[in-house]
Amino acid sequence: MPKEIKGHSLSRPISRRGFLKGTALGLASTAVPFAKADASFWDAYFQKHFREMNEDELREVIKRLEKEYAEEYDTKFNIKTTKAMPGTLFGYGLDLSRCIGCRRCVYACVRENNQSRDPQIHWITVLRFKKGEKWIDLEESEKYYYPEAVPEEGYFYMPVQCQQCENPPCVRVCPTQATWKEPDGIVVIDYNWCIGCRYCMASCPYGARRFNLAKPRIRKEELNPESHYLGNRPRYKGVVEKCIFCVQRTRAGRYPACVEICPVGARKFGNLLDPKSEIRYCIENKRVFRLKEDLNTYPKFYYFFAT
């Protein structure tokens, strides 16, 4: 087991071009004196739960993680721990009448949030429905559609991602409290605390959670080093991840990557507690609904029709 973890921090970057370089780096890092390597191994093993660390401990951990990532990905990472801003509760709107099913959001999210490219992980699933059939019958949805061009005649699209429930079943079931709801309403995961039991995945009514079945692989040049501890920092083999409303961006006053990329402006984002926000306007003036409202999960993700 210890070997397993060590292997993690010593393993090579995966891009084919970087292979040789990585091998050299890997060999170099084995030259690190044993005592030193062991100390950081035990630090990693006994790392505390994110919410139980004090400021000093957190600083130490961030320092160690940045070093680990630098060794592993040969890239300098900046891991923020920005706290939730007071008076914010993030909410999301998605205009179904505008979405054209182009999946640009899916790939913008992958780039922004350092999802594994191999095996491929997507946080956003775009579903395609036939017009004129049963309205949003998920069992009739198609996830694997590959047309020449979108939008296609006779179809409409519905992207689904973590709905950031106010009453999240995943948080309730997690046996280790590795996932929780932040004060700004974002459900986050401590990737260093998750034991990979996948109970949260069984409990999620929206299929939002993803599991790292293997070691995540990202080419060095595609990494996004601007990261957040609870957000887009690279994940580990055997832990769960999901959409976190781009916490690294949104807590710094920016839009999530999917909102920014959407070519038709179907995606809205804002502070639900601000009566003048765009999201509040949409909720109050459009015909909104939330997915599977009968389950009382109270998503903060609103689907609506502008036209």
Partner 1 sequence: MYALVRNFFTALRHIARGGKWYYIWLAFLSFFIVVGAVAYIRQLHTGLILTAMRDQVSWGFYISNFTFLVGVAAAAVLLVVPAYVYHFKPIKEIVLFGELLAITAIIMCILFIMVDMGRPERVWHLLPIVGTMNFPSSLLAWDVVVLNGYLAINFLISFYVLYKMSHSKEYSIQLIKPLIMISIPWAISIHTVTAFLYNGLSARPFWNASILAPRFIASALCSGPALMILIFQIIRKVSKIEIDNRALFKIAELIAYAIGLNLFLFGAEFFKEFYSGSIHLAPMEYLYFGLKGKTTLVPWMWAALLFNITAFLIFLSPRARENFLTLNIGCVLVIIGVFIEKGMGLVIPGFVPGVLGEIYEYSPTWTEKSVTLGIWAAGAMIYTLLLKFAVPIYTGELRFISKPGTE
237 binds partner 1 (CB under 8 A): yes
Mark out the alpha helices in 194-246 (DSSP H runs). Answer: 199-203
Is 200 in contact with 210 (CB distance < 8 Å)? no
Please name which of 119, 130, 142 lies closest in space to residue 237, comparing C-alpha atoms: 119
- Per CB under 8 A, the segment of 22-30, 73-81, 85-93, 194-202 that binds partner 1 is 194-202
CA atoms within 13 A on the CB side of 216: 29
Whole-number minimum distance, CB 178 to partner 1, in Å? 7
Please confirm whether the linkage preceding 119 is cis (ω < 30° from 0).
yes
Q: Is 236 near partner 1 (CB under 8 A)?
A: yes
Distance of CA 283 to the CA centre of its chain: 25
Among 174, 247, 262, 266, binds partner 1 (CB under 8 A): 174
Name the 3-class secondary structure at 24.
Answer: helix
**Contact with partner 1 (CB under 8 A): which of 24, 39, 70, 213?**
213
Q: Which of 16, 31, 86, 139 binds partner 1 (CB under 8 A)?
A: 139
Least Cβ distance, residue 129 to partner 1 (angstroms) = 10
Binder of partner 1 out of 196, 252, 287, 289 (CB under 8 A): 196
Going by the DSSP 8-state scheme, the letter that residue 297 receives in this structure is -
Q: How far is the CB of 206 from partner 1 (least distance, A)?
A: 6
Q: Which two tokens stand for residue 101?
A: 């099913």
Q: Coil, strand, or helix at residue 66?
A: helix
Does 133 bind partner 1 (CB under 8 A)? Our answer is no
* 195 near partner 1 (CB under 8 A): yes
Q: Within the chain, how many helices (H) and strands (E) appear?
A: 10, 12
Q: CA 291, CA 178: separation in Å to the nearest integer?
A: 25
193 binds partner 1 per the rule CB under 8 A: yes
234 φ, ψ to 5°?
-55, 140
CA dihedral 272, 273, 275, 277 (to 10 degrees): -40
Letter for the amino acid at 65?
L
Q: Between residue 43 and residue 62, which ones bind partner 1 under the rule CB under 8 A? A: 45, 49, 52
Q: Which of residues 112-131 bind partner 1 (CB under 8 A)?
A: 119, 125, 127
Q: Is 299 in the site for partner 1 (CB under 8 A)?
A: no
Residue 169 in the binding site for partner 1 (CB under 8 A): yes
Q: Which of 85, 238, 255, 280 binds partner 1 (CB under 8 A)?
A: 238
- Cα-based distances in Å from 263 to 48, 101, 217, 223, 267: 42, 11, 28, 23, 9
Tell me if 143 contacts partner 1 by CB under 8 A. Answer: yes
- Note whether 82 binds partner 1 by CB under 8 A: no
Closest to 186 (Cα-Cα) out of 256, 266, 283: 256
153 binding partner 1? (CB under 8 A): no
- Number of residues engaging partner 1 in binding (CB under 8 A): 52
Closest distance to partner 1 from the beta carbon of 198 (Å)? 4
Residues near partner 1 (CB under 8 A) are 1, 4-5, 7, 45, 49, 52, 119, 125, 127, 137-141, 143, 160, 169, 172-178, 193-199, 201-207, 209-215, 236-240, 295
